[in-house]
Amino acid sequence: MNIQLHKRLSRKFIIAILTSSSFVTACTFSVIWFYLANIERLDILYDALSVSSAIGIIFGFTLISLLGFSLVIFISSFIVYLIYTAHEKEFRNYDGLTHSFTTVCMCNSFVMCFVLISAFCLQFFWDINGFIVFALATCIITAFSYGLCHKLIFSVQSYIDKDNERTEKYLQKKSVKRFLPALLIIPAFTQIFPLFFIAGQLDFIEENNSLVQAAIFILLSMVLIIVGIFPGVIIINEKKNKNILQIITYALIIIPVSLLVLTMIFRPTPNMIINMSMSLSGISDWRTHQYYISIENHPPAMFDGALWNTHFYKDISSRFFITGVSIFSLGNIKLVCPTSINNVRSASLKTTADDFDEYNIRIKKLKKTAMTCVPFDKKEIHLWDSPISEPIYYQKVKSTGNSKILNLLHELK
């Protein structure tokens, strides 16, 4: 009877969700968003929406960006938790096995980080075949996992005694001895994603010693691995005496705290999440576009040709064209910047590990460059990327014509 009542309530709840106006609106918006994202024209999304609607959408994309970023950084924690949950019933029968399980996972991650970065260095500095280096690194990590599992899990006397008391011996199964160490390598290999993140967001002063830079890179990678796997380890160790609500509360506390710690090391982290949410929502478009402006609204002399690539066409005398980047578009306002802001922005989203003051300098440079941006009413400026032949330039755009560890980072990117 209770089961039938539960099914009826569940069915009514699902029907209520599917027929609600919020669900229909969200599905409709998702279709529009995916369509415009597929053709890379999210810049026109908010022309069809009100500002009040846009605020809710921006909040939604901010949550999506935060979740996506957390998934990349904490993916090892998610995988460790999934593996533990799948074997939780067996692990609970052995006092201390949960701790040994998390210890093996963490040690595997550290070894993987050190071995993999060392392998990249061997391949890059000494030009050793990449396939051979990767195969050797994989063999080392695998051998370490099997050896550590044998020492911390399969050879511990208290676990053996407990196993012998059971009618169905778990730790003595050949399948467990074969596949559990291999399974515990998976969280370590998922640490590759955070490592690629750090490689893409890290810079060094080129004059510094390459060995010092490599050591700093390895140290920061170790810190990133600790931050990535630490929430999963804490939640698993506390899960035995906690209910599901307490576990969720732990996760909601530990993950933001871990992100805060990450921000102290990789200072551009908040800006990366904000930029991601603004780009996904279509408010910012960091691609280079051509825009036309009526001479009646703004005279061409206001836009330096070397900065804005200002030009016009003989047959279109009432308008002139500029090249720029729309970094903010909401309501009736469109903030357009010179293309030079792209390089400055990219530099501001990276941290210089061997010179922390460099990040402050880059942020100041970004703010200074942003001061050259011009806020337009959307009726005054129009995007026009369709090609027109024979432009006449007011002034030609000016163009400007290492370290081993920097080259290695570029290779990883």
Residue 387 near residue 197, CB atoms below 8 Å: no
User: For 26-74, what is each residue's pLDDT tens digit?
Assistant: 676 677 676 677 766 676 666 656 656 677 778 888 888 888 888 888 8
Q: Tell me how far apart the terminal alpha carbons of the chain are, to the nearest angstrom.
A: 59
Tokens 């904000």 belong to 274
pTM higher than 0.75: no
User: For 390-402, what is each residue's pLDDT tens digit?
Assistant: 777 766 544 444 5
pLDDT greater at residue 45 or residue 408: 45
Q: Of 66-75, 98-107, 130-139, 184-193, which range is least confident?
A: 130-139
User: For 215-238, what is each residue's pLDDT tens digit?
Assistant: 777 788 888 888 888 888 888 877
Binning pLDDT at 50, 70 and 90, where does residue 208 land?
low
Residue of 378, 266, 384 lying closest to 321 (CA atoms): 384
User: For 265-318, what is each residue's pLDDT tens digit?
Assistant: 788 888 888 888 888 888 888 889 999 999 988 888 889 888 898 988 888 888
Crossing angle of helices 192-200 and 210-239, in 10° steps, is: 140
Distance CA 346, CA 37 (A): 22
Structure confidence at residue 365 (pLDDT):
92
pLDDT greater at residue 148 or residue 398: 148
Binning pLDDT at 50, 70 and 90, where does residue 338 land?
very high
Q: Which amino acid is at 370?
A: A
Structure confidence at residue 16 (pLDDT):
55
Residue 141 near residue 185, CB atoms below 8 Å: yes
Binning pLDDT at 50, 70 and 90, where does residue 403 land?
low
